[in-house]
């Protein structure tokens, strides 16, 4: 999965308004509801480490893995910029969520921001579930969010344009989706136009992100094959029952 290559340069700006702290607290509560004494977390697809940092600030030990070197560079820089007592609870390494193996047994494995939906083939999904199971202690939980199939089919992805800027650059991101309904896939083609404010220099970056939308029965089957049980499924952050308008669904599985 060679994504977030050129896109990664603008990642923090594109998602600067994402409520990482609120999301991390939401996930922490989900974990503690099932594993009250949880203290060790593995994060698959940790990105720039924003969720991990917030969790570490609550006393959790977090080991994160990501396939993107650029994302990990930002995660390591994030760790270097915070207090030592928090930084010592953060560990980052490069690894593919399908086959990374850390020397950690965790109370919870988490994978956020639709990392699961980036596993486009059945074998990819099975491999990621196996990775999660390998890192869980008995009774531990695997928490992740996905693009939810009923909503994707009901509302259909559409072209979206997003414009953002900071002190250095102004960017326009155009997202053009192409659906492959026979495979439950959406190819999202991103075109990013960036203009440097100081020099006026403009550049373009293009890449395609392949996303798999998932349905509850297949998630349940994948979990069962990995030795896990789905114990909860609800709308991401709200807790509502999933429906035709629910694009993001959070699943909680238990070992």
Say yes or no: 18 and 127 in one domain: yes
- Given this model, what pLDDT does residue 6 score? 61
Same-domain status, 202 and 220? no
Of 9-23, 32-46, 73-87, the poorest mean pLDDT is in 9-23
Higher pLDDT, 2 or 114: 114
> Residues 73, 134: one domain?
yes
Q: Residue 11: which pLDDT band, with cuts at 50, 70 and 90?
A: confident
Q: Are residues 192 and 222 in the same domain?
A: no
Percent of the chain with pLDDT over 90: 87
**Tell me: the pLDDT tens digits for 171-204?**
999 999 999 999 999 999 999 999 999 999 998 9
pLDDT tens per residue, range 25-71: 999 999 999 999 999 999 999 999 999 999 999 999 999 999 999 89
Q: How many structural domains does the chain have?
A: 2
Of the pLDDT bands very low, low, confident and very high (cuts 50, 70, 90), residue 17 is confident
* HSE-up of residue 84 (Cα within 13 Å, Cβ side): 0
Q: Is the pLDDT of residue 125 over 70?
A: yes
Task: Tell me the residue range of the domain where 204 lies.
Answer: 151-211
pLDDT in tens, 217-228: 999 999 999 999
Return the exposure string of 226-249: e unless at least 16 CB atoms fall within 10 Å of the residue's CB, then b: bebebeebbbbeeeeebeeebbbb
Share of the chain above pLDDT 70, in %: 96
Q: Give whole-number Cα distances, 133 to 78, 108, 125, 182, 239, in Å.
A: 28, 10, 12, 29, 24
Q: Which two tokens stand for residue 66?
A: 């990501």
Scanning the chain, the segments in alpha helix (DSSP H) are 11-14, 20-34, 50-57, 69-80, 84-87, 122-135, 149-155, 216-225
**116 and 53 assigned to the same domain:** yes
Q: Are residues 22 and 137 in the same domain?
A: yes
Q: Which two tokens stand for residue 129?
A: 């579930």
Q: Does pLDDT of 93 surpass 70? A: yes
Give pLDDT, residue 95: 97
217 in a structural domain: yes
In this prediction, residue 1 has a pLDDT band, given cuts at 50, 70 and 90, of very low
Cα–Cα distance for residue pair 113/51, rounded to 1 Å? 10
Q: Are residues 69 and 25 in the same domain?
A: yes
- The CATH number covering residue 178 comes to 2.20.130.10
Q: How far apart are CA 206 and CA 5, in angstroms?
A: 9
Residue 108 has pLDDT above 80, yes or no: yes
196 shares a domain with 99: no
């Amino acid at each position: 999965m060679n994504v977030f290559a050129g896109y990664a340069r603008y990642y923090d700006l594109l998602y600067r308004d994402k409520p990482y702290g609120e999301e991390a607290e939401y996930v922490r509560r989900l974990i503690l509801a099932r594993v009250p004494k949880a203290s060790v977390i593995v994060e698959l697809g940790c990105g720039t480490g924003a969720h991990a940092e917030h969790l570490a600030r609550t006393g959790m030990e977090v080991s994160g893995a990501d396939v993107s070197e650029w994302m990990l560079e930002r995660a390591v820089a994030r760790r270097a910029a915070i207090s030592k007592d928090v930084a010592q609870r953060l560990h980052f390494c490069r690894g593919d969520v399908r086959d990374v193996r850390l020397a950690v047994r965790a109370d919870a494995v988490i994978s956020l921001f639709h990392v699961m939906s980036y596993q486009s083939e059945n074998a990819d999904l099975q491999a990621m579930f196996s990775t999660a199971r390998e890192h869980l202690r008995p009774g531990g939980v695997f928490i992740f969010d996905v693009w939810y199939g009923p909503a994707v089919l009901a509302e259909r992805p559409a072209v979206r344009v997003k414009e953002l800027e900071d002190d250095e650059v102004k960017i326009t991101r155009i997202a053009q989706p192409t659906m492959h309904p026979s495979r439950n896939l959406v190819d999202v083609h991103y075109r990013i136009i960036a203009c440097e404010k100081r020099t006026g220099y403009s550049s373009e970056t293009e890449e395609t992100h392949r996303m798999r939308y998932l349905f509850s029965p297949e998630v349940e089957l994948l979990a069962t094959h990995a030795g896990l049980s789905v114990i909860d499924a609800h709308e991401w952050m709200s807790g509502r029952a999933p429906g035709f308008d629910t694009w993001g669904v959070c699943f909680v599985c238990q070992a």
